[in-house]
Structures are given as C-alpha cells and as structure tokens.
Structure 1
Amino acid sequence: MPAESTNALISEEPASRPRPTLRERKKERTRRTIRSEAFRLFREQGYTETTIEQIAEAADVSPSTFFRYFPSKEQLVLADDLDPVMIEAIDRQPKDKPILAAIRDATIEAFGAMDPEIFEFEKNRVALVYSVPELRGAVAREFERNITLMSGIVARRLGRPDTDFEVRALVGALTGAMFALVGDEPFSQEQIIRVITFLESGMRI
C-alpha cells in the first residue's frame, strides 16, 4: 500500500466492510488473475525476462488494462494485500492492550483467518522481492513504506504524533528486525511472534 494512502485506511474506529458489489468483485478477480499469471511467468522464465505485454496476454487483458491495476511490473510485485487486513486486526484489539501485545495478537488473528492460497501467494511474493537483484531498490522503499504504515498505526493507538521519537524507534526496531530475518523465513507468523517477544523482553540477549 503506498505510504500516502496509509492515513485514509487508518480511521479513528474500525468499521465493518460492506459487501463488495458485483463490479468490485469482477475487478478483484481481474487483479488477482493478472498477479497470478505474472508470478507463473516469473517462475517459468524469470522476473527480468517477463514483460508487461506477456503478463497482459497471459491474463487475457490489454496492456492498458494492466496499467489500470498496476503502474509498473515492480509495483505488481510490491503490492501488499495484507496491509488492510492487519490494520483491521490491530484496530479490533482492546485499546488498553500494550502496543506490542496488540500487534502480536492481531498477527495471530490475521494469519489464522488467511486463506491458504493467499498465504502461499504472499510467501512466494515476499521471497521473490528478496531474491531478484533488480528489486533491491524496491526493498529499501518497502522498508520505508512499512515504517510509515506502522508509525501511523502505533501513533494513533498511543495518541501521539507519528513523528514521536519513541514511536519511530519502536517501529524501527520492529520493522528492522523483520527485514533482517526475512532471508531465513520470508513469511512466517512464528518469526513475527519471536521478534515481538524479543522486543517485549527489552531485547535481552
């Protein structure tokens, strides 16, 4: 999710989502088809070798339709569909729950409710991001995006500005640890829980 859209998704109180309209469901199916066909081609012939035209043809859409859903091939890979799910799960945590405990319990809730197919897709997506040299620059931008996203979530729960020193330091430690470990386990609930538990202990070694 682009950083500039973060505040739009983080409302003061969580609201239940209305049932998607037929048009919205069709658009989501098209979007998923484009991504699934793209990743199939990436596996078969490599990320660099795969063109947008090939992805569009495999998904049975025009290149212009591709660009209506994704501004670039890189953004197709980086788009994180779990951001809204995690935001809603954190919002559902009791307001008096410590922030790290809220993130931990929200992670357990979000992973528990995740469709196995979506989990496998996200696992492959994250692995691709960190394995393709051409996406190295995108990894840095992804790091910054996560800092911005999580700072907004933590700051709102604590009633502080998202530029607050302690907010940024906590989020930096959490996000930095996740990125440092991603090579060992690119997409794992257990890894996230271990990081949060470590931070809760005061990072005692």
Structure 2
Amino acid sequence: MAGRPGSRTGRPPLTERRREATRMEIADEAVRLFVTQGVAATTAEDIADAAGVSTRTLWRYFRSKEECARPLLTAGMDLITERLRAHWRQGGSLAQAFANADDPGLVVAQHVEALRDLVRLCRDEPGLRAVWLETHFDAEAVFAGVIADGTERSERDLVVRLEAGMLNAALRVTVEDWALRPDDPSGPSLGESLAHALRTMTRLLDPEAPGAAAELGRKPMVHRPATDSRTGR
C-alpha cells in the first residue's frame, strides 16, 4: 500500500523498483499456481521456483503463501492514492478528484486477468479472503490520511473517516462485481467500472461538483448479475 501523507514522493530508487517488480512477479506466479493446482496443493517452494527466487527470498517478502498475492490487490489502490495526492497538489476538492476518474491508469493492465482470478478465488479460500479484507482494512487508514492531508482536516475527523470508508467500499465492491460477472468482452472493463463508481461517489459527496451533473444524467451502466462460474447461479 502507498505510504502515508508526507512520505517521499517522486520515482522510487532502482532497488525499490526492482523489489516491487519481484514482489509482483511472485504474486503473478502464486495466483497462476493457485488457479491451476489449487491453493492447498501449492507450496511456498512451488511459488518461489516458478518466480525464479529462493524460498528464503519469498519469506523475506511475505508472511504466508496466500500473502504472496497481495501485490496484485494493492497495485490499483496505490495508483488511486497517488492520483488523489497529485490532484490536491494542483488544488481541488475531494468530489472533483473523484469526478475526474476516467484515466485508464487506474488499472495495471498487464495484471488484470490475474486480479480477476484472485478475487474469484477469494470466495472459497479463507486464507486469500483474509488477505483481501486485510488489504482493504489497511487501505482505509491510508485513504483517510490522504483525504485529510488534501483537504486540510484531521484524519481522526469522523467525516474524513466516513469519506475514506466510502472510497474503500466503492473500490472493493466494484472490483468484486467486475471479477464475479460472467466473462463478456462487450461489458465494461475494470477501469470503466472503477471510474463509474468514483463518479457515483462524486454525486453523493457534492451534486454540484464538476462531473456530478453528467453522472446524474448518465444512463446507468448495465451489469449482469454476478454468478458462480461453476454452478451458473
């Protein structure tokens, strides 16, 4: 998850970027193995071998084999966090930040399918579901800090915490809805779904904000009900 407000900004040093790239490669391989051979049958050694790292390196980065998937969950949240910070460096309100959420950079494109597989697995795998929920628990505190810093309020302010909770819930529910929908190339992408959710939050926060009026008049995005791909229900 992105650092707290006031932390170092700008491009991270090469060693840190390499570390994050290694973590993401481990995450991709972990999810691929979880899908192909099952979580229970996948060992930390399997994941390390697939990612081309030692088991010792894997344990240096992660607390459990399920935790290996976490970078896939945090990548999009890190991008949104930085987007909020960048918006407030230019001046603007929370509602305006959400209203301008059409940037496809909200989603790390090369990891979208792995993310979909992971969220689907979270339904039936308690260990992965715990990582998913813990990731969002941690994200809410970060969002509160960023909102507070950008709007010059205290992160302990109840309204700030509610706004952070709304953002966090919107992201979680939207990603779950997208992942659990039947595969349909003509349906909205994850980026489009997230942008729609954030613009909807704009309407709730400030109906007069730029972009909110357009969202009020927008035809709702059509989503097929999420179903279990194994049972069709």
TM-score range, shorter-chain basis?
Answer: 0.7 to 0.9
Contact 2:66 2:128 in 1 (8 A): yes
Taking only the aligned residue pairs, the percentage that are identical comes to 28
Q: Corresponding residue for 2:87?
A: 93
Q: Corresponding residue for 1:82?
A: 76
Q: 1:159 aligned to 2:152?
A: yes
Q: Corresponding residue for 2:52?
A: 60
Q: 2-side partners of 1:46 and 1:143: how far apart? A: 24
Counterpart among 51, 63, 82 of residue 43 in structure 2 = 51
Q: 2-side partners of 1:88 and 1:200: how far apart? A: 18
Indicate how the Cα distance of structure 1 residues 104 and 72 shifts in structure 2: closer, same or farther if over 3 A, else same. farther
DSSP 3-state at the match of 1:93: helix
DSSP 3-state at the match of 1:76: helix
TM-score of the superposed pair, with normalisation by structure 2? 0.68
Cα deviation, 1:90-140, whole Å, max 9, x if unaligned, reads 2222543221321443x433x338553133344444443345333333333
Q: 2-side partners of 1:150 and 1:133: how far apart? A: 25
Q: 1-side partners of 2:77 and 2:172: how far apart? A: 16
Count residues with an aligned counterpart.
195
Cα deviation, 1:24-60, whole Å, max 9, x if unaligned, reads 5654554343223222211210122211011122233
1:70 partner amino acid: F
Structure 1 residue 151 displacement after superposition: 0.6
Aligned 1:55-204 pairs, distance under 5 A: 55-79=47-71, 80-94=74-88, 95-105=90-100, 107-109=101-103, 111-112=104-105, 116-186=109-179, 188-202=190-204
Contact 1:53 1:63 in 2 (8 A): yes
DSSP 3-state at the match of 1:34: helix
Comparing 25-34 and 78-87, the one that deviates more: 25-34
Q: Corresponding residue for 1:6?
A: 3
Q: Corresponding residue for 2:211?
A: none
Q: 1-side partners of 2:25 and 2:191: how far apart? A: 26
Q: 2-side partners of 1:151 and 1:113: how far apart? A: 19
TM-score of the superposed pair, with normalisation by structure 1? 0.76
